[in-house]
Every structure is written in C-alpha cells, then in structure tokens.
Amino acid sequence: MMYAHRWSYEHFVAPIPDGLTIDHLCKNPGCVNPAHLEPVTLVENIQRAHPLRTHCHRGHDLADAYVRKNGQRMCQKCRTVRYWEKKNASKGKQ
C-alpha cells in the first residue's frame, strides 16, 4: 500500500530518497499535485507545519528556549516555574 501523494511524487518526479517524507507545500494533505510536494526530513516537515513561535502562551520570549531531543522548543521560564511548583508541592506532602 502507498499513499496517493507519495505515489504521485514517485510516478511524476523521482523516487523518494530513504529517510525522507513528503511535505505538502500547499498545506493541503489531500493534494497529489507533484508540483506541491517536496521530500524533506521528518523534523523539517514538522517544523514547517508548526512554524517557530516568538513567545510562549504565557508571553515569555522564546529566544532562549529549551530545545528537546525531538526538536520541540519549550519556554525556559515556564519550565523553571513548573520545576519549583513541583518541588514545593512535594515538600508539602511530607
């Protein structure tokens, strides 16, 4: 079994290199137009789908964001606040 957009790219353009996935440049997942498809790494595909934000949902600047192994950025200030909240909550349970 092969997804239609992958078949379209391979049939009309070229084989998809190993380790790459197909990005829909038009952002329409049902599109099979080979001109709208591009092979990219999974990380790049995810980053394109979720463009980099400049601020977290609490308004903190993400310029010094913590980057997880999967490439996801986390607000360093929110991460610190969560750490201290957990630490203080565990002290109250003792």
49-69 residue pLDDT tens: 877 778 888 888 887 788 888
pLDDT value of residue 94:
59
Note whether 66 and 79 are same-domain residues.
yes
Note whether 13 and 37 are same-domain residues.
yes
Q: CA nearest 41: which of 29, 24, 14, 23?
A: 23
Note whether 10 and 43 are same-domain residues.
yes
Note whether 15 and 46 are same-domain residues.
yes
Provide the domain limits for residue 90.
Answer: 52-94
Domain count, the chain: 2
Note whether 47 and 2 are same-domain residues.
yes
Note whether 46 and 57 are same-domain residues.
no
Q: What is the DSSP string of 43-60?
A: HHHHHHHSPPPSB-TT--
11-30 residue pLDDT tens: 999 999 999 999 999 989 99
Note whether 25 and 64 are same-domain residues.
no
